[in-house]
Chains A and B, each alone.
Chain A
Amino acid sequence: GENVGLHLPTLSVQEGDNSIINCAYSNSASDYFIWYKQESGKGPQFIIDIRSNMDKRQGQRVTVLLNKTVKHLSLQIAATQPGDSAVYFCAENTGTASKLTFGTGTRLQVTL
């Protein structure tokens, strides 16, 4: 797959459990954050976003939490499914909206 060779932290969870993926961002001036999912052989896929004036946002089975005090972002996936297996990236806007800065990524492995 496209992520072969990436030495990423890996999170293994059992199917049906909840997953929490963490991300530390770098710029305290960032005002917009996005979580992307990248499956093997595909480009990053938008999951959920949050603006800096919020601390929580919920989507379908996913929740993003933002802690600006410690510059920390997390993605919670409820009832994790095998199809959730992928690499997850957080991204922050550090100036112009189109110029996203990505985190290093976390590989999520869902075991049956």
Chain B
Amino acid sequence: KAGVTQTPRYLIKTRGQQVTLSCSPISGHRSVSWYQQTPGQGLQFLFEYFSETQRNKGNFPGRFSGRQFSNSRSEMNVSTLELGDSALYLCASSVLQGSYEQYFGPGTRLTVT
């Protein structure tokens, strides 16, 4: 069974731009969670989607948003990029909402210049 896939793997953007990252969960998994990983803050929860609805949200500004499609694939969007948004963005999938066992993708490395 294929693992969680994320595209693109690397991305360079300029301050003020917006970016969309994509995540395809493991087949049969319906919940997708997003995390941000930075050297200063470590791994932080962004949000979780299940059945095309955001179920939980971390402590991030409204510039960070996401959505989930009927096939469980998810996208996250960051608008008006700031230098501090440079990070590794990780997607994790699980079978159900609120499932403890989450499987992570390799991440998208976003660099904002």
Report yes or no: B100 in contact with A2, Cβ–Cβ below 8 A. no
Report yes or no: A44 in contact with B100, Cβ–Cβ below 8 A. no
A42 within 8 A of B: yes
Report yes or no: A101 in contact with B106, Cβ–Cβ below 8 A. no
Report yes or no: A102 in contact with B43, Cβ–Cβ below 8 A. yes
Interface residue tally on A, bucketed by range: 20 to 34
CA distance A98 to B97 in the complex (A): 7
B8 within 8 A of A: no
CA distance A42 to B105 in the complex (A): 7
Report yes or no: A7 in contact with B106, Cβ–Cβ below 8 A. no
Report yes or no: B98 in contact with A46, Cβ–Cβ below 8 A. no
B45 within 8 A of A: yes
Instruction: For A100, list chain B residues within 8 Å (CB).
Output: 43, 45, 102
B68 within 8 A of A: no
By beta carbon, the residue of chain A nearest B44 is A102
Instruction: For A104, list chain B residues within 8 Å (CB).
Output: 42
By beta carbon, the residue of chain B nearest A33 is B100
With known contacts A98-B31, A98-B98, A44–B106 Cβ distance under 8 A: no
Residues facing A in B1-54 (CB within 8 A) are 4, 31, 33, 35, 37, 39, 42-45, 48
Q: How far is the CB of B40 from chain A (nearest CB, A)?
A: 9
Residues facing A in B33-84 (CB within 8 A) are 33, 35, 37, 39, 42-45, 48, 55-56, 58
Residues of A within 8 A of B (CB): 2, 5-7, 32, 34, 36, 41-46, 49, 89, 91, 93, 96-105
Residues of B within 8 A of A (CB): 4, 31, 33, 35, 37, 39, 42-45, 48, 55-56, 58, 88, 90, 92, 94, 97-107, 109
Listed A/B pairs (28) with beta-carbon separation below 8 Å: A2-B37, A2-B107, A2-B109, A5-B39, A7-B39, A34-B100, A42-B106, A43-B4, A43-B90, A43-B92, A43-B104, A43-B107, A44-B104, A46-B101, A46-B102, A46-B103, A49-B101, A89-B42, A93-B100, A96-B55, A97-B98, A97-B99, A98-B31, A98-B48, A98-B98, A101-B45, A102-B44, A103-B42
